[in-house]
């Protein structure tokens, strides 16, 4: 089965890794809109426009299913993607919202995601008495993209972001941006041990696995990321190095243009 996924940058690696663990027989088309990251400070209109362009591009990639590996787009433009694509679409927010057990939940997210309260609304849909607090984290994505993930600076920033959530005695913490699992070691260090870390990619992967199992006839066997293809909107060489670092593969990365004018792939 051929699965498409996209993110603004390296955040989607965290989804890809989880999905490959549960669905090892699929191949992937990963698109990173590196020319326009970070998404998390863009307006709703900009994100909707981007979602249109990305869906149009994927419509030509012959995929069997699509993963929204970016929470910001998930929060703002899931309907745009679902309308544009004619394959099943799997998202992070609704996948994880249905699996939340705790009654006091914190969410770390990009400013654009937090503004929508998409996590709060989705969780309350399933468990109306849950207390949900969302915290916007504008500094994380640029630092993670720069590979600044172990410094004293990012540790202090993380402590600052977590403070209001811990004050509210959260029992679990959702990583509401696909970049954030890349700083799990740091977050685990600064979080009290009784607070459960939740990566929405797990719930999404599980849903996808069920879907793939229901279509087992279509399975094509593969062994790792070798059948997967990577595309970016800028700096393919750098992205290839990032893939080596996070996925331990050194893929050929192709440059694409998403705007209709000048589209090269």
| Out of 177, 195, 201, 208, the residue judged to bind ligand DGL by CB under 6 A | 177
| Out of 178, 205, 228, 233, the residue judged to bind ligand DGL by CB under 6 A | 178
Residue 205 contacts ligand DGL per CB under 6 A: no
Query: Which DSSP symbol is given to 244?
Result: H
> Is the Cβ of residue 25 or residue 235 nearer to ligand DGL in the bound state?
235
Q: Residues binding ligand DGL: what is the number (CB under 6 A)?
A: 16
Contact of 206 with 22, CB cutoff 8 Å: yes
Residue 228 contacts ligand DGL per CB under 6 A: no
The active-site residue out of 92, 177, 232, 247 is 177
Q: What sections of the chain are H helices per DSSP?
A: 12-22, 44-58, 71-84, 92-97, 111-116, 118-126, 140-145, 152-167, 184-190, 200-214, 236-247
Contact of 209 with 90, CB cutoff 8 Å: no
Q: Residue 30 in 3-state DSSP?
A: strand
Active site residue 137: no
Active site residue 177: yes
| Out of 26, 34, 55, 110, the residue judged to bind ligand DGL by CB under 6 A | 110
Pick out residues in 126-165 that bind ligand DGL (CB under 6 A). 141
By CB under 6 A, which span of 83-91, 150-158, 174-182, 214-222 interacts with ligand DGL?
Answer: 174-182
Rounded to whole angstroms, how far apart are CA atoms 113 and 157? 19
- Give catalytic residue positions: 70, 177
């Amino acid at each position: 089965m051929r699965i498409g996924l996209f993110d603004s940058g390296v955040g989607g690696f965290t989804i890809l890794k989880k999905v490959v663990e549960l669905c090892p027989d699929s191949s992937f088309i990963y698109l990173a809109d590196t020319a326009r990251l970070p998404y998390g400070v863009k307006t709703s209109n900009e994100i909707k426009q981007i979602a249109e362009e990305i869906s149009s591009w994927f419509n030509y990639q012959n995929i069997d299913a699509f993963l929204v590996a970016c929470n910001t787009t998930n929060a703002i433009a899931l309907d745009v993607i679902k309308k544009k694509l004619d394959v099943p679409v799997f998202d992070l927010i609704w996948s994880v919202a249905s699996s939340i057990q705790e009654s006091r939940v914190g969410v770390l997210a990009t400013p654009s995601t937090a503004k929508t309260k998409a996590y709060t609304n989705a969780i309350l849909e399933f468990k109306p008495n849950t207390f949900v607090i969302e915290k916007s984290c504008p500094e994380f994505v640029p630092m993670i993209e720069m590979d600044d993930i172990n410094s004293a600076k990012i540790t202090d920033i993380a402590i600052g972001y977590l403070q209001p959530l811990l004050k509210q005695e959260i029992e679990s913490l959702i990583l509401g941006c696909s970049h954030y699992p890349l700083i799990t070691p740091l977050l685990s260090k600064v979080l009290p041990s009784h607070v459960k870390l939740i990566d929405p990619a797990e719930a999404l992967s599980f849903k996808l696995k069920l879907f793939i199992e229901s279509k087992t006839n279509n399975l094509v066997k593969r062994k790792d990321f070798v059948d997967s293809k990577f595309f970016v909107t800028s700096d393919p060489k750098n992205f290839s190095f990032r893939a080596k670092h996070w996925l331990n593969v050194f893929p050929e990365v192709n440059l694409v243009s998403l705007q209709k004018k000048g589209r090269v792939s």
